[in-house]
Amino acid sequence: MKPIPISQVDALFANGRYPIEFLLYYPRPVKTKHIRSSLRQLSASFWPVFGRYHHGQIEPLRYREAVFFEEKTLSTSFNPLAPAEEIFDKYKDFNPAHIETLFFVTVIQYRNGTLLIPKMNHLVGDGYSYFYFLSALAALSQPTYIPFKKRLIRYALKPSLKRTVLKDFLFDATPLVSTDNKTSYQIQFDRISRKEVKAIIRDLSDPEKESVSSNDILSAIVVQKSAGLTKSGVNEEFYLTIPVDIRRQLGMYGPKYFGNGLYFNRTRFVAEEMARMDLVDIARKIRNSMVEISTDSYLNYLVSWEDLINNGQLHQ
């Protein structure tokens, strides 16, 4: 296994920020011997997950379970019906805040099931890559008596690891050190009825107008809430950034591309303009702002990232 250079989009995450971390609950207790064995097996085909970042490249490391895995057993029960904010507050610090590697998973055994909290540095890949890896882990962790089944699973799910598909790139600027943010943020939780969103989309089914998706409606709700939090002057502007997965649009990436296959679509909003827009107007503006992704447009996008990097504006 040879080191692989990170991509232009990967460079955004080379300072260690924005890890991807979900809590997964299994009502039936999971035997960790299968998880441990599967992690070891996947450390070959998914080796960047278990590698390290160094001078613009992800380098392979020898798999050592103690570095990537921890199991805890608690004599209490997990409450899957607890409010999301309560679950977040309780489990947000179970994984180490700063991990030396690019991946870590904590397994918690309760009397009524098992929790998995996998934490992956965003440098390794986007949300699609995160769940692609977890799907492979889940498939391999299932007990089987069929000969060669696990070998076939590993072969079928083997990811494509080359990151610089369209354009070669070498990034050698930022070490993987997560910078402490002194700003205090308050996370807000909201529940939005799926039925309500579908009803809005159904009412908007006008063939003469641009159609909108459920994601457009949900994004518009976020924009409205953000505008409500604006406390400065009426002309203050802000941007909505939506990460778009490019795997479907660009065949050379494809569904097995393991990395940050993303285009960040930005939509500009002005507070004064927002005062004249309802939810539907905002959703249509978001839909109309979406860029058509092609090989040429994405190549130009990667070049624009290189310009930001060369000018020292990557995180501005």
**Residue 220: its H or E element:** helix 214-229
The CATH classification number of 194-310 equals 3.30.559.10
Q: Which amino acid is at 301?
A: Y
CATH 3.30.559.10 domain residues, the chain: 4-156, 194-310
- Is residue 55 left, alpha or beta, with left meaning phi > 0 and alpha meaning psi from -120 to 50? left
Superfamily of domain 4-156: Chloramphenicol acetyltransferase-like domain (3.30.559.10)
d(CA 61, CA 1): 10
For residue 54, give the 3-state DSSP assignment: strand
Residue 47 makes CB contacts below 8 A (sequence gap 6+) with 1, 60, 161
CA of residue 62 relative to chain centroid, distance: 25
| Tens-level pLDDT at each residue, the chain (316 residues) | 899 999 999 999 988 778 899 999 999 888 899 899 999 999 999 999 999 998 899 999 999 999 999 999 999 999 999 998 899 999 988 888 777 789 999 999 999 999 999 999 999 999 999 999 999 999 998 877 777 788 888 899 999 999 999 889 988 765 555 555 556 667 777 888 888 888 888 877 666 666 788 899 999 988 888 777 655 544 578 889 999 999 999 999 999 999 999 999 999 988 778 878 888 889 999 999 999 999 999 999 999 999 888 887 776 5
Model confidence, pTM:
0.88
In eight-state DSSP terms, residue 312 is: T
d(CA 137, CA 153): 10
For residue 166, give the 3-state DSSP assignment: coil
